[in-house]
Amino acid sequence: MAAMKLYMTPGSCSTAIHIILEELEEAFEAYVVNLPAGDHFKPDYVAINPKSTIPTLVRRDGTSLTEVPAIAYWLARSHPRAGLWPDGAENESRLIEAMAYIAGTIHGQGFARIFATNTFARNPADHDSVRELGRDIVTKGFAILNKAIGSQNYLAGDYSVADPILFYVEFWADKTNIALPENLAAHYLRMLTRPAVRRVLREEGYNTASLGKSSLSNSSCSEDRVDG
């Protein structure tokens, strides 16, 4: 049976799926989609994913699955022995809620304004205000998730597929000097110690030794920054 194929871009939201596949020790083929070059709009890719988004997971039966929360959920449910999905309707619903909020709001409304400013405002004179709004959305989102995770090690208590999704926006915060509140900073640093996470980051071209330092310096005062 053919291996699965992951169409991804290093350092993007697809890193979450890359980490989950690595945690599952799942054999797959990785294909880099060069977004600046417009690879996601080329006919071969559009035939796989008409949305022209990343990531795309082409499964063994040849069908494509898109959207980070959906891919994460499918991987967790199709590997039940790995224990990466909680039991019970309440726990499941809360995890879906968190994944949707991270992908749809913190990423889609917040970081998207920071990274793809011109898609929200064509006039360069408006770009600074768009980016500022993006940072405000991210900061508010982090405050909400900081309360949700509380003193737990991971979003669901035990490690789940939601944690690599939270990790990718924490990673972006690290790269853009956005302070993480205390509980998320602890989660980010905890994730950085996981062997699968470190392997994925190295494979995607990042120096793991340089990551997390801003979280260490900011975590003690970041709650004040968020709530103020």
Query: Predicted confidence band at 28 (pLDDT cuts at 50, 70, 90)?
Result: very high
Name the residue among 159, 219, 223, 165 with its Cα closest to residue 189: 219
Give the pLDDT score at 215: 62
Low-confidence winner among 52-66, 117-131, 183-197, 213-227 (lowest mean pLDDT): 213-227
Q: Does the reported pTM lie above 0.85?
A: yes
Give the pLDDT score at 85: 97
- The single-letter code of the amino acid at 68 is V
In three-state secondary structure terms, 29 is: strand
213 pLDDT higher than 90: no
- The single-letter code of the amino acid at 127 is H
Give the pLDDT score at 216: 56
Instruction: Find out whether 31 and 8 touch, Cβ atoms under 8 Å.
Output: yes
C-alpha torsion sign, points 8, 99, 164, 145: positive
| Mean pLDDT score of the chain | 93
List, in order, residues 6 or more apart from 105 with CB less than 8 Å away: 137, 141
- The single-letter code of the amino acid at 29 is E
Which tens digit of pLDDT belongs to each residue from 134-151?
999 999 999 999 999 999
- Ordered by start, the domain boundaries in the chain are 4-82, 89-227
Give the pLDDT score at 7: 98
Domain 4-82 in CATH 3.40.50.300? The answer is: no
Higher-confidence residue of 226 and 83: namely 83
Residues recorded for the chain: 228
Give the DSSP H/E element, type plus range, for residue 94. helix 89-101
115 pLDDT higher than 80: yes
133 pLDDT higher than 80: yes
Strand-strand pairing, 64-66 and 28-32: unpaired
For the segment 64-87, the average pLDDT, to the nearest whole number, is 97
**In percent, how much of the chain has pLDDT > 90?**
90
225 pLDDT higher than 70: no
Any idea what the Cα angle at residue 56 is, between residues 52 and 58, rounded to 5°? 130
For the segment 152-170, the average pLDDT, to the nearest whole number, is 97
- Other residues' Cβ atoms within 10 Å of the Cβ of residue 60: 11
Phi/psi-derived region of residue 87, left when phi > 0, alpha when psi is between -120 and 50, beta in every other case: beta
Instruction: Find out whether 1 and 48 touch, Cβ atoms under 8 Å.
Output: no
If you classify domain 89-227 with CATH, what class do you get? mainly alpha
The two domains 4-82 and 89-227 share their CATH topology (first three levels equal) = no
